[in-house]
Amino acid sequence: MTITTLEKLDARGRELVFTGARTTNSFADTPVTDEELRDIWELTRWTPTMANTQPLRVAFVRTPEGKERLLPHIAEGNYAKTQAAPATAILAVDNRWHDQIPTVFPIRPEMRDHFEADEAARSHAGHFSAGLQAGAFILSTRAAGLAAGPILGYDKDGVDKEFFPDGNWSTILVVNVGHPGENPWFDRLPRVPEDAALAWA
Amino acid sequence: MTITTLEKLDARGRELVFTGARTTNSFADTPVTDEELRDIWELTRWTPTMANTQPLRVAFVRTPEGKERLLPHIAEGNYAKTQAAPATAILAVDNRWHDQIPTVFPIRPEMRDHFEADEAARSHAGHFSAGLQAGAFILSTRAAGLAAGPILGYDKDGVDKEFFPDGNWSTILVVNVGHPGENPWFDRLPRVPEDAALAWA
**Over pLDDT 70: what percentage of chain B?**
100
Confirm if A176 and A148 have CB atoms less than 8 A apart: yes
Given this model, what pLDDT does residue B27 score?
97
Per-residue pLDDT for A3 more than 90? no
Given this model, what pLDDT does residue B100 score?
97
- Secondary structure of residue B130 in the 3-state scheme: helix
Dihedral of alpha carbons A172, A136, A46, B32, sign: negative
* Interchain proximity B16–A9, CB inside 8 Å: yes
Determine the residue type at A142. R
Looking at CA atoms only, how far is residue A41 from chain B in angstroms?
9
User: Would the pTM of this model clear 0.90, i.e. be above it?
Assistant: yes
CB count within 10 Å of CB B12 equals 14
Given this model, what pLDDT does residue A131 score?
98
* Interchain proximity B18–A189, CB inside 8 Å: no
CB-CB neighbors (< 8 A) of B150 in chain A: 48
Per-residue pLDDT for A153 more than 90? yes
Per-residue pLDDT for A186 more than 90? no
ipTM: 0.97
* Interchain proximity B13–A17, CB inside 8 Å: yes
- Calpha distance A168→A32 (Å, rounded): 28
Looking at CA atoms only, how far is residue A167 from chain B in angstroms?
14
Question: What is the tens place of the pLDDT at every residue in B61-108?
Answer: 999 999 999 999 999 999 999 999 999 999 999 999 999 999 999 999
Question: What is the tens place of the pLDDT at every residue in A22-38?
Answer: 999 999 999 999 999 99
From the list B48, B70, B180, the residue facing A150 with the nearest CB is: B48
Per-residue pLDDT of chain B (201 residues; tens, 9 = 90+): 788 889 999 999 999 999 999 999 999 999 999 999 999 999 999 999 999 999 999 999 999 999 999 999 999 999 999 999 999 999 999 999 999 999 999 999 999 999 999 999 999 999 999 999 999 999 999 999 999 999 999 999 999 999 999 999 999 999 999 999 999 998 899 999 999 999 999
Residue B9, CA distances (Å) to A17, A20, A45, B39 in order: 8, 13, 16, 20
